[in-house]
């Protein structure tokens, strides 16, 4: 799953420092307002940054201010240059020390860098919650009284694309008991035309019941060719086996998975099949039709379910809505696999409700946007949103403990050799 952005590469965690009471007495003379506290924090940050940069320059030159310059050292200090940096406390004006040779490269805030640790994370966090670039710009102006250009904000958020690329190509588990595949529709500009594109997500269930989003793929049309590309991507990243693929009538998926993972069972989402069936019925008939369909999916076996479907077809609702019967018969091959599991089996085996819940949260985040300027922009926001929503792998449910035993019985070594 997408992970939270780390501190600067190689930066060790720093223990909290004890601040001397005498120092605090100098800073705090009495009750303070929020604005006064912020001003003190900015002043303190400015002083610490400048002192740290001065220490870096001393290390670079080989001598501290006031000390004799080593004979072999031709370089020396050459004043300072003013620079405004953005911090999590707002903009801070600092004086960057210079050397005569121009060879000094500050590490705490590198040359041409105007952001101090924390500020980027604030922008990325706001973007991940669905705020537009203009909204972030307005928020920063209101909270920190600083003007930040849309280009600056876009540059900050664009920097996560390296993380997105690494996440999308990371190694995966060799086997997944269940993978859910589903699509989310978003508007994306393509060749000066805004098109409805499908964003496909794959949510895998690990042998211990934990969950992990395996990838994001954007495509305008779906079909066997597209799905074969997805499955080959999963295989390249280490997936050797998928026991069950739970889908919602995605075009071409069943054909493609037979090529890439021929031993995989394809299970149609029963909840979606019921919903699609009710779409054929008039509003006043839907409740009665839903009741009449229940004996099919609630049957104790595939044989009993087939008899229930025949009974529905011969009854008044089957005669009135023959398209419902046809839709069940067309999907029947991928409807019946879940009947092999006991009724105590978790719903994860035969519905895509888990990934639909994820999609519902994603829709809340992207609903404020008219459209995305590119596939990359859509991928960036969805990845950031997923990182916040899941924040790592979801813990297994109690029901999954029962399912593990059933998988071990039904799939034998395909399950036990990996989960052991």
Could you write out the DSSP letters of every residue in 72-110?
A: T----EEEEEEEEEEETTEEEEEEEEEETTS----SSS-
pLDDT for res 9: 45
Note whether 355 and 203 are within 8 A (CB): yes
User: From CA 365, how far away is CA 352, in angstroms rounded?
Assistant: 20
Residue 159 scores a pLDDT above 70: yes
Residue 283 has pLDDT above 90, yes or no: yes
Q: What is the pLDDT of residues 300-329, one digit of tens each?
A: 889 999 999 999 999 999 999 999 999 999
Task: In the chain, count H helices and then E strands.
Answer: 17, 7
Q: Does residue 396 have a pLDDT over 90?
A: no
User: Is the separation of the CB atoms in 168 and 216 below 8 Å?
Assistant: yes
pLDDT, residue 345, reads 61
- The DSSP annotation for 226-258 comes to HHHHHHHHHHHTT--EEEEEEESS-TTHHHHHH
Asked whether the predicted pLDDT for residue 189 surpasses 60, the reply is yes
Distance of alpha carbon 65 from alpha carbon 73, whole angstroms: 14
Q: Which of 84-88, 300-304, 336-340 has the lowest mean pLDDT?
A: 84-88
**β strands within 350-391, DSSP E:** none
More confident residue, 293 or 395: 293
pLDDT-wise least confident of 35-44, 159-168, 250-259 = 35-44
Range with the poorest average pLDDT among 48-52, 87-91, 268-272: 87-91
Start-end of H helices in 206-321: 224-236, 253-260, 270-279, 286-297, 302-314, 316-320
Tokens representing 40 are 């003190």
Least confident of 144-158, 164-178, 234-248: 144-158
pLDDT value, residue 365: 79
Q: Nearest 10 degrees: CA dihedral of 125, 126, 129, 132?
A: -140
What sign for the dihedral angle of Cα 111, 113, 114, 118? negative
Question: Strands 265-268, 241-247: parallel, antiparallel or unpaired by DSSP?
Answer: parallel
State mean pLDDT over 104-112.
80
């Amino acid at each position: 799953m997408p992970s939270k952005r780390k501190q600067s590469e190689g930066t060790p965690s720093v223990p909290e420092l004890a601040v001397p009471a005498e120092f605090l007495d100098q800073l705090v003379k009495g009750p303070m307002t929020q604005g006064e506290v912020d001003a003190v924090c900015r002043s303190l940050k400015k002083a610490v940054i400048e002192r740290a940069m001065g220490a870096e320059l001393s290390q670079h030159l080989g001598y501290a201010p006031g000390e004799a310059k080593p004979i072999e050292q031709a370089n020396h200090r050459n004043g300072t240059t003013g620079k405004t940096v953005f911090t999590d406390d707002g903009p801070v004006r600092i004086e960057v020390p210079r050397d005569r040779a121009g060879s000094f490269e500050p590490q705490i805030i590198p040359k041409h860098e105007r952001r101090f640790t924390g500020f980027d994370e604030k922008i990325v966090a706001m973007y991940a919650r669905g705020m537009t670039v203009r909204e972030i710009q307005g928020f920063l102006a209101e909270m920190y009284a600083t003007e930040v250009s849309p280009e600056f904000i876009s540059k900050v958020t664009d920097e996560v694309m390296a993380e997105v690329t690494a996440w999308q190509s990371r190694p995966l588990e060799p086997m997944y008991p269940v993978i859910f595949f589903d699509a989310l529709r978003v508007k994306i500009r393509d060749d000066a035309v805004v098109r409805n594109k499908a964003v496909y997500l794959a949510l895998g269930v690990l042998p211990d019941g934990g969950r992990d989003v395996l990838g994001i793929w954007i495509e305008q049309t779906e079909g066997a060719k597209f799905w074969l590309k997805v499955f080959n991507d999963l295989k390249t990243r280490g997936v050797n086996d998928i026991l069950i693929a739970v889908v919602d009538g995605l075009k071409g998926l069943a054909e493609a998975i037979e090529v890439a993972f021929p031993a995989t069972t394809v299970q149609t989402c029963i909840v979606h099949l019921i919903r699609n069936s009710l779409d054929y019925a008039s509003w006043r008939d839907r409740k009665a039709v839903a009741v009449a369909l229940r004996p099919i999916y609630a049957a104790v076996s595939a044989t009993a379910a087939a008899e229930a479907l025949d009974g529905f077809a011969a009854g008044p609702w089957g005669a009135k809505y023959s398209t419902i019967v046809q839709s069940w018969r067309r999907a029947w091959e991928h409807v019946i696999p879940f009947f092999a599991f006991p009724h105590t089996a978790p719903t994860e085996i035969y519905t895509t409700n888990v990934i639909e819940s994820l999609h519902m949260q994603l829709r809340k985040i992207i609903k404020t946007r008219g459209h995305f300027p590119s596939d990359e922009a859509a991928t960036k926001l969805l990845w950031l949103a997923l990182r916040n929503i899941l924040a790592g792998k979801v813990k297994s449910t109690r029901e999954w403990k029962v399912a593990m035993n059933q998988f071990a019985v039904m799939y034998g070594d395909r399950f036990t050799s990996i989960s052991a």
